[in-house]
Structure 1
Amino acid sequence: MFLGIDVGGTKMQFAVGVGEDVFVLNKVPTPSRYAELLQVVEEHCSEAEKRFEYAGKIVEMGIGIPGTFTKERVVWVPNIPCLEGQDLAGDLRTRLGAGVYLGNDAQLALAGEVWKGAGRENSNAILMSIGTGIGGAIMIGDRIVKGRRGAAGALGWLNLDASVPGDKNHGYLENYASGTGIAGVGETHVPPLSTYEIVAKAKEGDSFCRKTMDRAGHLIGAGLASVASVLDTEIIILSGGLSEAIETFKKPMLDSFIEYAAPGVEQVPIVKSELGNLSGAYGAVRLAMVRGDMWIG
């Protein structure tokens, strides 16, 4: 039996793999202390083994984290500071006697989508996660590109205007097309509007909100055209909270993608995630099943 854990800044999602089937378990708050986090994982392992007693013990475990990592140790996770510098894989291996493998959350979301979601039957794929920020992941030849620090696929750092000063904490695309970027535009409105309000009013046809979402869609499309042209991918998958509002920016995104993509690339389909916020947990299960053997780099 295999356990997958998607560790987020506020919640942890657990899932179990038995054969080729995935069973989604409960979601719990992410502890603020490292010792408590280890305890929560241990408790859920025990509960899973009792619930799926017929499947035997958990032999391998995959864990997705929103940051950078080495094979054993978490390096940088801005939203979960208690994990930084910790030997997460080694500590859990000692406690549970199971194999433990770490992965970036966006990279595992892509692995989940290609395995059980929108990317099935594709071996070359790009995932862009659009939410508070913008992240992403890249698959080439059935392998996820990991990168030196486990952070390959940071699509929020695509730069579409070199005349704009750089930001060491956020990339260009993230600054202008993420939920946070849209909220920044909303602050210029009288009265100020949140991202949620802009999306809702855009659906109703409000001019200011439509222009705001059109601009975000245009930038997302141009960014995707750039990376898809470089990689000559088969499919592009959109995930994250804003992907649920894709109808508010789909047309300008596709128009921009077609305009800026290399010849032939404009035919690449852009689809919404099928697994939604469960894609990371599915990918973590898959990481456990292949015993960490899914990476390039």
Structure 2
Amino acid sequence: MTKKIIGIDLGGTSVKLAMISQEGEILEKWSIKTNVLDNGTHIVPDIISSIKDKLDLYQLTASDFIGIGMGSPGKVDAQAKTVVGAYNLGWSELQEVGKAFKEAFDLPFFIGNDANVAALGEQWKGAGQGNQNVVMFTLGTGVGGGIVVNGQLVTGEGGAAGEIGHLTVDTQYMTACTCGKKGCLEAVASATGIVNLTHRFSDNYEGESPIKKDIDNGDEVTSKAIFDAAKTGDLFANMVVDKFVDYLALAVSHIANTLSPSHIVIGGGVSAAGEFLREKIAQQALAYTFPQIRQTCQIVLAELGNDAGVIGAAQLVNTSR
């Protein structure tokens, strides 16, 4: 029987797990709740227990697998197999994740930052189409990223590479970012960022707009509502989206010009705006991009959805052992 891989995608509300073939086919997947009580001390034991239960159910042992891969929020040291600064998990202190898995399973264990691991999944089996040089922008509440060069994750010194969300793109308003810097991409081109832009521009807009009306009424406005309004021709919403796209396209062009990837993948919740958003980003980004790179770099939407993390975690095993 061909050996399999266990892939783990650790999130703030749930942990997704899967048994995956060495070719990237999901054979079995399940999830458990992320228990962040007591500073997240239950998280790793819960994952280990869930895996053991699943192995018992299918009468499998460690000998049926080649390794375990995991994507985690926070600053990940892939060599030491530790995580720190995953505050949504309660992990403000250093977590010896690899040590716990080594004690529980007689299997190689590999870990990476969750956004990096998702990029590896899209590069392997998603929008990257198996190409060797792929970068992913993950547009959610914040902006994450992952860089794959020659089929390998770029982690950089100390494991902090791929922090695309903290490229400085806003030098006019210098919007404050949660990282402590000002003008970060994350502050203006995330789900939170586009709402920030909407509030910023609403005071000076005098035309009719359902979105502006909601802002003036003090109603909550979401990124989805802004994109939906833009698609229907709301002039104010389109003005906001165009500014959002300009910031994002500038960052995309910097990545394209620096790394010359074959694909830049746009993923995360905001990417649900679909082709409407992708086309705008591509058009603007390519205008900022070195002419020769325009011919080789494609800007595409992510394809794997919620499976990117576990598939990428499996590929982390393939590429690391």
TM above 0.5, yes or no, is yes
- Bigger Rg over Cα: 2
Match of 1:29 in 2: 33
Contact 2:271–2:277 (8 Å) recurs in 1: no
Amino acid at match of 2:50: H
Q: Secondary structure at the match of 1:101?
A: strand
Amino acid at match of 1:151: A
Is 2:98 aligned against 1:89?
Answer: yes
Q: Does the C-alpha gap of structure 1 residues 141 and 216 become closer, same or farther in structure 2, counting only changes over 3 Å?
A: same
Where does the alignment leave 5 or more consecutive residues of structure 2 unmatched?
203-211, 216-220
Q: Distance in 1 between matches of 2:85 and 2:92?
A: 8
Q: Distance in 1 between matches of 2:44 and 2:164?
A: 31
Match of 1:15 in 2: 18
Per-residue deviation at 1:223? 1.1
Contact 1:219–1:256 (8 Å) recurs in 2: no
2:131 corresponds, among 122, 137, 142, to 122
Q: Does the C-alpha gap of structure 1 residues 50 and 237 become closer, same or farther in structure 2, counting only changes over 3 Å?
A: same
Over the matched positions of the two proteins, sequence identity in percent amounts to 28
Is 2:116 aligned against 1:107?
Answer: yes
Using the TM superposition, name which of 68-77 and 38-47 deviates more: 38-47
CA displacement 1:35-83 (0-9 Å, x = unmatched)? 4212321232123324544685445211101111222211221221237
Q: Distance in 2 between matches of 1:83 and 1:63?
A: 19
Amino acid at match of 2:13: T
1:281 corresponds, among 310, 313, 319, to 310
Contact 2:68–2:109 (8 Å) recurs in 1: yes
Amino acid at match of 1:278: D
Is 2:155 aligned against 1:169?
Answer: no
Match of 1:145 in 2: 154
Contact 2:15–2:32 (8 Å) recurs in 1: yes
2:53 corresponds, among 28, 47, 53, to 47
Per-residue deviation at 1:162? 3.7
Q: Following superposition of structure 1 onto structure 2, how do residues 158-197 of structure 1 map, counting pairs within 5 Å?
A: 158-165=167-174, 167=177, 168-169=179-180, 172-187=184-199, 188=202, 189-192=212-215, 193-197=221-225
Q: Secondary structure at the match of 1:149?
A: helix
Q: Secondary structure at the match of 1:249?
A: helix
Where does the alignment leave 5 or more consecutive residues of structure 1 unmatched?
none
Q: Does the C-alpha gap of structure 1 residues 9 and 108 become closer, same or farther in structure 2, counting only changes over 3 Å?
A: same
Q: Secondary structure at the match of 1:219?
A: helix
Q: Distance in 2 between matches of 1:23 and 1:47?
A: 16
Q: Does the C-alpha gap of structure 1 residues 42 and 88 become closer, same or farther in structure 2, counting only changes over 3 Å?
A: same
Contact 1:62–1:100 (8 Å) recurs in 2: yes
Q: Secondary structure at the match of 1:137?
A: strand
Amino acid at match of 2:301: K
Per-residue deviation at 1:3? 0.8
Q: Distance in 2 between matches of 1:249 and 1:104?
A: 26
Q: Distance in 2 between matches of 1:28 and 1:62?
A: 17
Q: Does the C-alpha gap of structure 1 residues 232 and 24 become closer, same or farther in structure 2, counting only changes over 3 Å?
A: same
Contact 1:186–1:194 (8 Å) recurs in 2: no
Q: Secondary structure at the match of 1:279?
A: helix
2:238 corresponds, among 195, 210, 223, to 210
Q: Does the C-alpha gap of structure 1 residues 19 and 178 become closer, same or farther in structure 2, counting only changes over 3 Å?
A: closer
Per-residue deviation at 1:275? 0.5
Using the TM superposition, name which of 136-145 and 35-44 deviates more: 35-44
Contact 2:278–2:300 (8 Å) recurs in 1: no
Pairwise CA RMSD of aligned residues? 2.2
CA displacement 1:140-173 (0-9 Å, x = unmatched)? 1111101123221111112224455474436621
Contact 1:15–1:23 (8 Å) recurs in 2: yes
Q: Distance in 2 between matches of 1:225 and 1:24?
A: 38
Q: Secondary structure at the match of 1:62?
A: strand
Contact 1:123–1:139 (8 Å) recurs in 2: yes
